[in-house]
Amino acid sequence: MTMDLTEHKKAEDENRYRSEGLAAMLKVSHNLSTTLDMGTVMQTATDSITEFMGLKSAAIYLLEEDSLYLWATTPPLDPQIPDTFRRAPLSDHPHIRESISTGKPVLLPDTATANLTPAERVIAEARGLRSILYMPLIVEMNVMGVLIAAIVEEPHVITESEIDMCCTLANMVSLTIQNVQLYESVKHHAIDLEQQVEKRKQVEKALHKAHGELEIRVKERTAQLEEANKKLKAEITERTLMEDALSLSEERYRTMIEHSNDMIWTLDTEGYYQFVNKRVEEFSGLKLDYFRGKSFTSFIDKKDLPKVIDCFHKALNGESQQYEVSVKKEDGSNFFLLVNTAPIYSKENVVGTVSFGRDINDRKKEEETRIENERLLISNKIKSVFIATMNHELRTPLTSIIGFSELLKDKTITGELNEKQEHFVDKVLSNSNHLLELINDLLDLSKIEAGKTELVIEEFSVPAAIDEVVVLIKEIAAKGNITIINNLEPLNIEADKKRFMQIILNLLNNAVKFSKLEGGIVTIAAKKSGDMAQISVSDTGIGIKKEDVERLFCAFEQLDSGDSRNYCGTGLGLIISKQLVELHGGTIEVESKYGEGSNFTFSLPMKHLSKQQIFG
């Protein structure tokens, strides 16, 4: 029985709340319908929701793009409140954004425990807000803003019925805002229409007046045109005859320009191309459309640019110019032109320049070849004098030094030498022989380069010739703990035996010289490969860096590495060997791995070839 009375009491309270709510909404609706001023409607809405819903604070923000603008608030804001309360980015108010994006009310039961942004926290504390309800203002999917209702000082449980009532009020406010906006739009449109009607009346009046004046002017102008038409017909006949003659003349000149062997172009006073003939297009690889609007400076070699600019300015001052210039082609290469430039006049004023360019590339190349040949002749003359001086001033005294040193070592002539004296004599003899070898290398190289080396061709056994060379170097190799291995097939070739042995000696010397400190193995092999004899000298020495291989066969080059700098020599051995191989019509190549060793391989024809067969 008690439970039934409680339920009955709760139902009566609910009905009374609904009745009061409906009465409140009727009053709000009445209040909102009494005005069509936007500001008044907004303020009425916030005042009504606080009055009839028993809330303490309310506000309306309208949305413009991504910003919120405060239109009304109850109670009113203090004038000293900062502008951040009146307008703020939507991103600073995520709860408002959530309500707008979802189209549903968002409730914060207690701001003291809610997760608020700094901007939301500042407003809540300044206004003393504790429980906040955010309600979107939406009409036909069009989001206009948000209505905010709040409890201040102490948190308050807002029931579902209260939320529904507030949302209904929010919908009423949304419709009212839309009505006001429609009203203002219609009002402005009506004003615009009135203004347009008035303007149209004024225009019609002015047109009527102008029509009368125009009729008079048309009659006068018609008479003038009839008279002018008679004169124009006579002038057109005469002008047509002149234009035909001019067109024929222009066609003749254009044909001459287009088929000229010279390159012809015109520039305006700013240096921009106006015209180029076909010869320019053919020579540069670029079409007229590419040149138009471009400055001549972009096609001139930098070193010639100051000179050409100076000539251009002198031509604009009425002075014809002639100059040579290097010009860029489409493929990036340069060509030389002899250019004559003259001013273009129009009514006694210079309006641009015309230039005639002639290709002088061949002449330039001939001139460069002549200068290079003169330089080479002088260089060869100096080298010949130097070689002659070397032969007379160094080789002859060295021969004497070597001869007398050998006499000093002959005990039957000079008697016994003590240990120190014998050491000094050995040093003199060793260094003299080394210097003589260097001079001989230099003389050999000079003779080969001058084409004065004549090969003495004979048939000989390759293994036998190699064995003769190995005997010469075997003792030096043994001192360095280096083993020489022969892998020689029996074969005969027609070649210069002395020069062949010189090539083998140079390669073996290098293999022994550049072996590792602890010693190593040098392998010399010979075999037949087609109609060629293939000879290789390989070692297990210090090897050659990949980037240094190309420098191996350069005269006077020794590789600049930490190991190879420990050895003396001019660096001529390999270049002499290479040139001797090529003089026989053969080839030489190298394979090397730094730190592991090198392999030099050269091939010579089995049968002697004539110079015509070798060099063509």
pLDDT band at 565 (very low <50, low <70, confident <90, very high): very low
pTM: 0.39
H-type alpha helices, 410-461: 411-414, 419-450
- Sorted by sequence, the CB contacts under 8 Å of residue 601 that are 6+ apart come out as 534, 535, 536, 588, 589, 590, 591
pLDDT band at 539 (very low <50, low <70, confident <90, very high): very high
Taking residue 431's Cβ as centre, other Cβ atoms within 10 Å add up to 14
Q: What is the rounded average pLDDT of the residues 546-565? A: 61
Residue predicted with more confidence, 243 or 521: 521
- What single-letter amino acid sits at 292? R
Q: What's the pLDDT score for residue 562?
A: 43
288 class by beta-carbon count within 10 Å (0-12 exposed, 13-18 middle, 19+ buried):
middle
Q: What's the pLDDT score for residue 600?
A: 93
Which residue has 């189209």 as its token pair?
Answer: 103
Give yes or no for residue 567 having a pLDDT over 70. no
Q: What is the rounded average pLDDT of the residues 215-234? A: 83
Q: Per the structure block, which two tokens stand in for 164?
A: 């529904």
pLDDT tens per residue across span 96-133:
888 888 888 888 888 888 888 888 887 887 777 888 88
Give yes or no for residue 460 having a pLDDT over 90. yes
Give yes or no for residue 499 having a pLDDT over 90. no
Q: Per the structure block, which two tokens stand in for 479?
A: 């001192």
pLDDT band at 388 (very low <50, low <70, confident <90, very high): low
Do 150 and 183 contact (CB within 8 A), yes or no? no
Do 43 and 57 contact (CB within 8 A), yes or no? no
Task: Encode 237-253: b = buried (16+ Cβ within 10 Å), e = exposed.
Answer: eeeeeeeeeeeeeeeee
Q: What's the pLDDT score for residue 615?
A: 63
- Sorted by sequence, the CB contacts under 8 Å of residue 245 that are 6+ apart come out as none
E-strand stretches of 105-190:
106-108, 129-139, 142-152
pLDDT tens per residue across span 164-208:
778 878 777 777 777 777 777 888 888 888 888 888 888 888 888
301-310, 398-407, 542-551: range with lowest mean pLDDT: 398-407
Q: Is 346 helix (H, G, I), strand (E, B) or coil?
A: strand
Give yes or no for residue 517 having a pLDDT over 80. yes
pLDDT tens per residue across span 476-492:
888 889 999 999 999 99
